[in-house]
Amino acid sequence: MNRIQFAGLAGLVAIALFGFSCKKEATATTTTVTVTATVPDVFKKFNPTVTVSSDGTTITIKSDGVPDHKSCYFATSDARYQAYNGSNSAFSKNPNSIGTKSFTFKIPASPAVNAAHEATPLGPIGVAINGVAIYNQYAGPNQPLTNEINSFDQYNGHPDQSATYHYHVEPLYITLNKAKSALIGFLLDGFPVYGPQENGKTLVSADLDTYHGHTAVTADYPNGIYHYHITADAPYINGVGFYGTKGSVTQ
């Protein structure tokens, strides 16, 4: 082999090695790692039909908004239909029906108090563990539930004009099947909502602060957390506003 042949062969080897090096480096730079945050155990209390995920900062809850119990607001041909059999002698069915939604609730994974205490809007202000929307204490702008209560079905829910089934007051299907002290759901600010009992006592609004909650130990939060309670008297679930910074909801 003469010098020219040797130089040519050496050049080809160098080019091949350089090309291999470049390809290896390019592959390394396109590798991505996806980290999925763990969903806190308390959110595993949601029904299996509800999807819950977390990115470590935000908890995302997706639901179709349809109750997991029977109601007179399903079509009579629907197997989930059940004529009203509650205790309200003044019951009057409203003209709306239950529709399927595509709710996406985004709430803080680490809720914190917000000094502004933003007022709750009409429409969904939270979500129950069965995926049903939670509404505030008003039937309309500053309109009490006095008359609207008479349209609640046997489990204390009803649909609005947009076919969104929701609870303004204690969701009886949950408290009857879980417990009066059970976790009911979460408001948009990420703080939990519990039933009307705590440590064997049935609470009333006078036992709670102006936002309808207090800080105490719960079965889900042994170190204590601010949480809302449902009561039989107004404002039922929430008071004058969110305790913390609210997230968002789309449907």
pLDDT surpasses 70 at 162: yes
pLDDT in tens, 183-205: 999 999 999 999 999 999 999 99
Question: pTM of the entire structure?
Answer: 0.85
Residue 36 CA: distances (Å) to CA of 50, 81, 104, 143: 18, 40, 18, 43
For 36-40, 235-239, 240-244, which range has the lowest pLDDT when averaged over its residues?
36-40
Sign (positive/negative) of CA torsion 107, 44, 46, 206? negative
| Contact predicate 152/71, CB 8 Å | no
pLDDT surpasses 90 at 225: yes
Average pLDDT for 93-104: 98
Q: What is the pLDDT of residue 30?
A: 42
